[in-house]
Structure 1
């Protein structure tokens, strides 16, 4: 901008005005500029450091959550296997006992499926208005059918109002006309559906459907029936907990015959425990290495000390102290109360090491496998205490979130200061340039006047010499 006002070299003074103005402006603003640059660099590094720390904490908590997933539990002391998962699947809990079991599934638990009388007019047949009652065992639900209803609209109304109860309706067009068919996700004997209140839709769910009349389709709802080592077990559901202590059975099919038993075996799962423990150790070490990288000092190529973005940060030091405290605390177990008993110890750099030889001894000789799950995932276990230690820092309203918000405010303030400094630099440059241009113009005029005066005296001197 200033280049359009004046050339670099003054016409009157011969001075480089641009360089002079730049030097004066720099002298006036350099200290403030350096301060803003330094503070911005430090603040940006801290924002990045806090972000990296929060990401590492979140990853660690996610890893613990995965290891504590109730649908796929880790740290089980035993593993169960089924020889035929087309008949029965099995999951062992931490209270299972090593052994082998023979299972024969004679019958799966079934739900109720009933049908109304046949309507020759099809799915658009008119249905009388009234209060339809759908009953199942001790439960009953009311459906108010308005005038002008059809078989289709009643179907839709049942699905909308009773779907949450596990009751669904559809229309099947067969010989003799269309039928409203109701089915339930509830299984077990005595869970048969019945319908009353509107005569043409009445269904006795305990009576078999014949001809064009209403009733149950194929069979009544039934319990599952099976034998475990020859002992008879019945269940209203196909998922059975603790029919064998510490195990969950999921019945998936009927055995080929009463002599076609499926073998279930339960064995100590030291390999699975070791894998889960190693996953925890790896997740913790990843967090520890991230914290170390953010807080450790180093030397650059010129041997100058370089600080990490969170070096000497009190919040980070406090966090590290809190999570390390969890590792050293004594748990509430019977025999197993500390990580060191499993061969897990803290090294000099803060990471964990896992001695698998000591772990194997604890499993085989000291029989600590059944207590590993409680140590990690039980009430007041390592995961619960670790999350309690981390949440005050990493929660949405935690101290690190507050820290980030404050650093963002500082960044905004520094940006505003830089904008103000840029305006001052521009204003000062323009002001000084105008002043130097004015001075140079004045000098140029004086030089021109001096040249004129000199020309007059030179002319007088020349006349004097000629006369």
Structure 2
């Protein structure tokens, strides 16, 4: 803690005087702090740019994959037959007539109060018989024994009023292959619902009619990459249509252009030179954080070139991707749609090629290990750390300087106090001397 002896003897504001001297001494540190702030602002801006470029690299990498263009939509002429697409889908159309739906088998016993036999035998559709021995004739024990046998059959005790109970046996899966029979018992049973496969007919009513079955209500890969699910029997054909999803393909191309333009806009904004007026009314010109930055300029140019260079001798503008006068890209959806309709394979190949080049340029800039922007960020952060250490050294130096000045001024005030005391003593001594007559008298 510093000493405070303002004006005790000299009457001077020594604290202000010391603060002013320290302020002059701290000018190099103040300039250094300004450099740190500028470096941090620049680093933050480059990090923001790097994040956008890295995201573009991921988007472009996906857009460069041929599989990304296997985009199709499936429609059905009936809400009772739905279609979904999967890998390997291709355009096509087919009619189906639903003959029946898949179902689980349900078998129930007659009214019971206890199980009359020591065992029961369940035989599956493949003919494999399993003998089950309940712990007792209790219906609950029979239910437990069946449910823990791992046969894919669930037993349930159902209360039926005055008649007591019935046991219901249900297959856990649908389809004929999940069917079963209950034998080896004196208990009567009724098949409430038989095990049944779903069935559809292709090209019904023609000599080419073909019946197809499925253990579930879904028919996988009815067409390549097309799964069809039925929910009701139909008496007339349902038309399933698979078409290329041009909207989704267009979104890939337009998304790539949007991602590039976002980066170009950020660079342009951060490179702009602005003017303002200071408190004295003078015009102050301020350059953007990226103004004159060769690394950022190279990133901008590399991305623009990757997106605009010809593909197999054809300009991307032929499919609606062109450069504007302001150095950004423009996507013409109408032109792209026309080109896609005329030559879908050629358009998709062009977008893939552009995407691959953009992905390479973006990765070169944003790679987390050796990207040009990454290296810039690392270098700036290192400089900030170094300057931070220098600022800390200045703090120690200025603290020592302040302590030294406080001691000097404290000593000065003390010395002035001593001199003042001496002066007061001398004054008092002089005042105490007797008057001395130096004149002469006459008679």
What is the CA deviation profile of residues 109-158 of structure 1, one whole-angstrom value per residue up to 9, with x for unaligned ones?
x476688999x999xxx99xxxxxx9999xx9xxxxxx9xx875995796
Find the counterpart in structure 2 of residue 428 from structure 1: 401
Find the counterpart in structure 2 of residue 21 from structure 1: 18
Contact 2:253 2:351 in 1 (8 A): no
Give the structure-1-normalised TM-score: 0.66
Q: Within 5 Å, give how 1:348-387 maps onto structure 2.
A: 348-364=325-341, 367-376=342-351, 381-383=353-355, 386-387=358-359
Partner Cα separation in structure 2 for residue 153 and residue 390 of structure 1: 64
The structure-2 alpha-carbon separation of the partners of 1:419 and 1:234, relative to structure 1 and needing over 3 Å to count, comes to: same
Q: How much does 1:342 deviate? A: 1.0
What is the CA deviation profile of residues 214-259 of structure 1, one whole-angstrom value per residue up to 9, with x for unaligned ones?
9998334525423247542525465556645x662422323431xx
* Residue 81, structure 1, aligned to residue 75, structure 2: yes
RMSD: 5.1
Partner Cα separation in structure 1 for residue 104 and residue 356 of structure 2: 43
Which of 281, 301, 317 is 1:340 aligned to?
317
Q: How much does 1:438 deviate? A: 0.8
The structure-2 alpha-carbon separation of the partners of 1:181 and 1:269, relative to structure 1 and needing over 3 Å to count, comes to: closer
Which of 281, 294, 300 is 2:275 aligned to?
300
- Tell which deviates more after alignment, 22-31 or 302-311: 302-311
Find the counterpart in structure 1 of residue 230 from structure 2: 252
Contact 1:82 1:263 in 2 (8 A): yes
The structure-2 alpha-carbon separation of the partners of 1:180 and 1:172, relative to structure 1 and needing over 3 Å to count, comes to: same
The structure-2 alpha-carbon separation of the partners of 1:459 and 1:376, relative to structure 1 and needing over 3 Å to count, comes to: same
Partner Cα separation in structure 1 for residue 148 and residue 376 of structure 2: 54
* Residue 277, structure 1, aligned to residue 253, structure 2: yes
Contact 1:84 1:262 in 2 (8 A): yes
Give the structure-2-normalised TM-score: 0.69
* Residue 56, structure 1, aligned to residue 36, structure 2: no
The structure-2 alpha-carbon separation of the partners of 1:345 and 1:169, relative to structure 1 and needing over 3 Å to count, comes to: farther
Q: How many residues align?
A: 407
Contact 1:111 1:221 in 2 (8 A): yes
Partner Cα separation in structure 2 for residue 456 and residue 385 of structure 1: 100
* Residue 419, structure 1, aligned to residue 414, structure 2: no
* Residue 234, structure 1, aligned to residue 212, structure 2: yes
What is the CA deviation profile of residues 249-290 of structure 1, one whole-angstrom value per residue up to 9, with x for unaligned ones?
422323431xx2223456676555545533332233223222
Find the counterpart in structure 1 of residue 29 from structure 2: 32
The structure-2 alpha-carbon separation of the partners of 1:375 and 1:91, relative to structure 1 and needing over 3 Å to count, comes to: farther
Q: How much does 1:69 deviate? A: 11
The structure-2 alpha-carbon separation of the partners of 1:331 and 1:455, relative to structure 1 and needing over 3 Å to count, comes to: same
Q: How much does 1:353 deviate? A: 0.7
Q: Within 5 Å, give how 1:175-194 maps onto structure 2.
A: 183-184=172-173, 192-193=177-178
The structure-2 alpha-carbon separation of the partners of 1:309 and 1:272, relative to structure 1 and needing over 3 Å to count, comes to: closer
The structure-2 alpha-carbon separation of the partners of 1:286 and 1:215, relative to structure 1 and needing over 3 Å to count, comes to: farther
Show structure 1 runs of 5+ residues with no match. 128-133, 141-146, 159-166, 194-204
